[in-house]
Structure 1
Amino acid sequence: MAEARGMWCVPCLASLEILQELCRTEELTCAALGIGRGELTEYEVEYLCGFKKEKGTAYYLVKWKGWPESTNTWEPRRHLHCLGLIKQFQEDQRAFHVQVKAARKVKLNHCRARDQGMAFTEYVVRKSMHRLALKCWEEQLNRKKNHQGKILVENEVDFEPPPLDFHYINQYLPSRGINLTREPLVGCECSDCLVEKCCPEEAGAKFAYNAERKLRIAPGKPIFECNSCCRCGPLCPNRVVQKGTLYDLCIFRTSNGRGWGIKTLQKIKKNRFVMEYVGEVITSEEAERRGRFYDSKGITYLFDLDYVEDEYTVDAARYGNISHFVNHSCDPNLQVYNVFIDSLDTRLPRIALFSTRSIKIGEELTFDYQMKGSGDVSITETSETNGPSKKQRRMECKCGSASCRGYMN
């Protein structure tokens, strides 16, 4: 269901299968439902939900894409050319048996083989539907993001679905009454911004990057990048944050109760820009009101923009980008910096996350919600659902680092 700005959305009451069947009946295509021209005229395996052997022949129960479950059919292995789905089915089968064995050890499962077969069918169908929902969300996120890096979604821990009331945005979204002026009044005329007197020096700051766009200033120092009025081109070394995330990242479900997290799918070198923290810009008074509500729910995503004045706050609870899912750590690999590009309003800096050390492929990305040593920015984390907060009750930290403080705020 489409959402008007400022309004809440509600989930559709019709199931995915019903909507797909309606599309097929009416001969309509819908990318969001996975119904293209091919699905209207051809049969495609959506997932496998059963297995049996008859007279030495292996059969799989097939759920056909765009067709209701009532049309599922048993097909011999030789008819199927979906090796990936067969492998996935076998992995689910092994995972299910591991769960059954674990349950037996604590005497929680005494069901017969027939009951286990029914339980496995239910498990594999639920798992397949869950993967389809995550895949649909992944495609949606990649359609909405405007940066180079791809976004993947992974959950091999539980059946937690995509968040229903989270909307991906690429830049600050001002709440009513807040004006975010993005048009600069003046720009540099440098032919080589790295050696000439450029935007940072005009603002009384140090040039933040070297020739390879690697950060070279200490935490707490502001970053002033060249803006849309500057004569330097897109290859200028002083254009980094504005180019967006360059790395492929994965939203994944953590296994220790910290909710969703972010891991990198590419190696990230030290002092490199990774992502920007964006959300809805609200007043500090509104942040106090929302903070009380978030406290009652044990969640919050409030980030104070207190570089000079504590007038505005970024709330990434409903509107945000991939940084919405970054977890806290007492030994983080990301550091927050205040950035100014088109707007020089010191009340409204952009928030950029840079790597503090070399980060390996598959490593989770984290930052310290208390932001020690990062200047005037002050934030803390509160909950499983990953978010910095204003004033919160003390919450236990689960980062697992050797230097863990025990609490996140």
Structure 2
Amino acid sequence: MARYLKDCSVSCKYSWDDLQVLCRRQKLVCKQLAVTENDFGDYVVEYLCNYRRIKTREFFLVKWKGYSESENTWEPQKHLKCPKLLQHFRQDMRLALLHTNMPLDTSSLDAPAVSFIIQRAKQRVKLRRWEEDLNRACQHKGRIFVRNDVDLDGPPKNFTYINSYKIGAGVELNEVAVGCECTDCIKAPVNGCCAGASDNRTAYNDHMQVKIRPGMPIYECNSRCGCGTDCKNRVVQRGIQYDLCIFKTANGRGWGVRTLERIPKNSFVMEYLGEIITSEEAERRGQMYDQQGVTYLFDLDYVADVFTVDAAHYGNISHFVNHSCNPNLQVYNVFIENLDERLPQIAFFATRSIRAGEELTFDYKMTIDEVDAESNKMDTNFSLAGMPDAPNHRIRMECKCGVESCRKYLF
């Protein structure tokens, strides 16, 4: 049996910090975890549970990492070396006191206030672990952060982060057979580089920004090309380059995504990833999602409405991007390793310069209105994906994007 398992591996259910705590508690030296005998006396504050003030001294009830709640202890502030946790606690305590109409200078907390503070603390732990899981799973430069300053919701359930399409039943991807022979695919493309082989234009400029009109396809260099990974015709395949934050919206739109960095106009931002399914399966799932008031289906209808991307349970950060009737992201169809026009990759590019801290959005019902025949191939109708043509099958969903040009309904 051992010889069959020698190359197998499984992910650890503990985080790096949790393993360090366990080693310190069991007094185990671990070189890989950087735990030495000098660390055996260290205790880590997981979160703060309660508060009391005796004269001028402040005390906090501490939940220690790696220890049960029955082992919580009261500690004076001078014993605590966790300024960020103290800041979070004071913010939560202020909210709890305001909600319960207690004076802000109270010397002790009642049960409802303590309950709220503990729920917020446990929520932060769950969101921090989810953030760590997301960054371990993703294979791109840009890091993912998570914030919820609105309610007590934790990470979404039944969602798995993926870095490429998950292929569903009845779907086959065919790899390209040839690659380009360029030395500089942007400035000196041989025979038009990869785009020219399909009678299309090169999509990017020297700054790796898209220069073709929405609706026209993008053909990037692939694994059979002679150019290296630094080729400027390899943009979408590099993955997300910007630090992004999944955050809870305050106006009932659920989770959203904001950028933590400035994104220049026409720059690649992210792909829309999920499970590729047939149109028949998409219709079945679409009716179910419609009853739930959610939509994660994206029709791959560049040339034919045959396949759909379902990001409900498998996806990347695009799963959390909200709709806007005046969006800052535009969809392009991209072909890299697979040239089947029925199965493009869906990429979002910035329609304008996007400020750091600004929410990222795309139009769930965008259409391409171009006179170019090639551009007319794409008519992206995210909100109607997988649904029958008859309008009486739809449940009207209110739009909450808030822009002046809002259409009032998603569909």
Calculate the TM-score normalised by the size of structure 1: 0.85
Q: Indicate if the aligned counterparts of 1:304 and 1:377 stay in contact, CA closer than 8 A.
A: no
Q: CA deviation at 1:24?
A: 7.9
Q: Indicate if the aligned counterparts of 1:52 and 1:59 stay in contact, CA closer than 8 A.
A: yes
Which residue does 2:185 correspond to in 1? 193
- 5+ residue gaps, structure 2, are 1-12, 370-375, 389-393
Q: CA deviation at 1:27?
A: 5.0
Q: Which runs of 4 or more aligned residues in structure 1 lie more than 3 Å from their structure 2 counterparts after TM superposition?
A: 22-29, 35-42, 113-116, 388-392
Tell me: CA distance 1:24–1:119, structure 2 relative to 1, closer, same or farther (3 Å): farther
The answer to whether structure 1 residue 223 and structure 2 residue 218 are counterparts is: yes
Q: Indicate if the aligned counterparts of 2:236 and 2:268 stay in contact, CA closer than 8 A.
A: yes
Q: CA deviation at 1:56?
A: 2.6
Q: CA deviation at 1:202?
A: 1.3
Structure 2 counterpart of 1:206, one-letter code? R
The answer to whether structure 1 residue 140 and structure 2 residue 133 are counterparts is: yes
Equivalences for residues 351-366 of structure 1 within 5 A? 351-366=346-361
Q: CA deviation at 1:61?
A: 0.8
Which residue does 1:164 correspond to in 2? 157
Which residue does 2:85 correspond to in 1? 85
Distance 1:222 1:118 in 2: 60
Q: CA deviation at 1:91?
A: 1.2
Deviates more, 1:293-302 or 1:303-312: 293-302
Q: Indicate if the aligned counterparts of 1:24 and 1:66 stay in contact, CA closer than 8 A.
A: no
Structure 2 counterpart of 1:363, one-letter code? E
Which residue does 2:4 correspond to in 1? none
Q: CA deviation at 1:264?
A: 0.2
Percent identity, aligned pairs only, is: 51
Equivalences for residues 368-383 of structure 1 within 5 A? 368-373=363-368, 375=376, 376-381=378-383
The answer to whether structure 1 residue 344 and structure 2 residue 336 are counterparts is: no
Post-superposition CA distance 1:153-209 (Å, at most 9, x none): 00000011111200000101111232223x320000011112222111111111101
Aligned match for 1:253, one of 230, 248, 251:
248
Distance 1:43 1:200 in 2: 59
Structure 2 residue matching 1:231: 3-state secondary structure:
coil
Aligned match for 2:300, one of 288, 297, 305:
305
Distance 1:367 1:278 in 2: 15
Q: Indicate if the aligned counterparts of 1:380 and 1:408 stay in contact, CA closer than 8 A.
A: no
Q: CA deviation at 1:50?
A: 1.3
Q: Indicate if the aligned counterparts of 1:150 and 1:249 stay in contact, CA closer than 8 A.
A: yes
Distance 1:309 1:55 in 2: 74
Which residue does 1:76 correspond to in 2? 76
Distance 2:109 2:386 in 1: 45
Which residue does 1:263 correspond to in 2? 258
Structure 2 residue matching 1:75: 3-state secondary structure:
strand
Superposed CA RMSD in Å reads 2.7
Which residue does 2:404 correspond to in 1? 402
Structure 2 counterpart of 1:131, one-letter code? R
Q: Indicate if the aligned counterparts of 2:178 and 2:224 stay in contact, CA closer than 8 A.
A: yes
Which residue does 2:8 correspond to in 1? none
Which residue does 1:241 correspond to in 2? 236
Distance 1:206 1:288 in 2: 35
Structure 2 residue matching 1:250: 3-state secondary structure:
strand
Aligned match for 2:201, one of 206, 212, 218:
206
Q: CA deviation at 1:93?
A: 1.5
The answer to whether structure 1 residue 121 and structure 2 residue 123 are counterparts is: no
Post-superposition CA distance 1:30-77 (Å, at most 9, x none): xxxxx9968976311111111112243211111100111111111111
Post-superposition CA distance 1:314-362 (Å, at most 9, x none): 0000000000000000000000000001110001000000000110111
Tell me: CA distance 1:93–1:148, structure 2 relative to 1, closer, same or farther (3 Å): same
Structure 1 counterpart of 2:401, one-letter code? C
Structure 1 counterpart of 2:307, one-letter code? Y
Tell me: CA distance 1:136–1:36, structure 2 relative to 1, closer, same or farther (3 Å): farther
What number of residue pairs does the alignment pair up?
A: 372
Q: CA deviation at 1:123?
A: 0.9
Equivalences for residues 40-55 of structure 1 within 5 A? 42-55=42-55
The answer to whether structure 1 residue 280 and structure 2 residue 275 are counterparts is: yes
Distance 2:275 2:230 in 1: 30
The answer to whether structure 1 residue 64 and structure 2 residue 64 are counterparts is: yes
Q: CA deviation at 1:229?
A: 0.6
Structure 2 residue matching 1:262: 3-state secondary structure:
strand
- 5+ residue gaps, structure 1, are 1-11, 30-34, 105-109, 383-387
Structure 2 counterpart of 1:300, one-letter code? T
Structure 2 counterpart of 1:199, one-letter code? C
Structure 1 counterpart of 2:400, one-letter code? K
Deviates more, 1:246-255 or 1:68-77: 68-77
Distance 1:372 1:198 in 2: 29
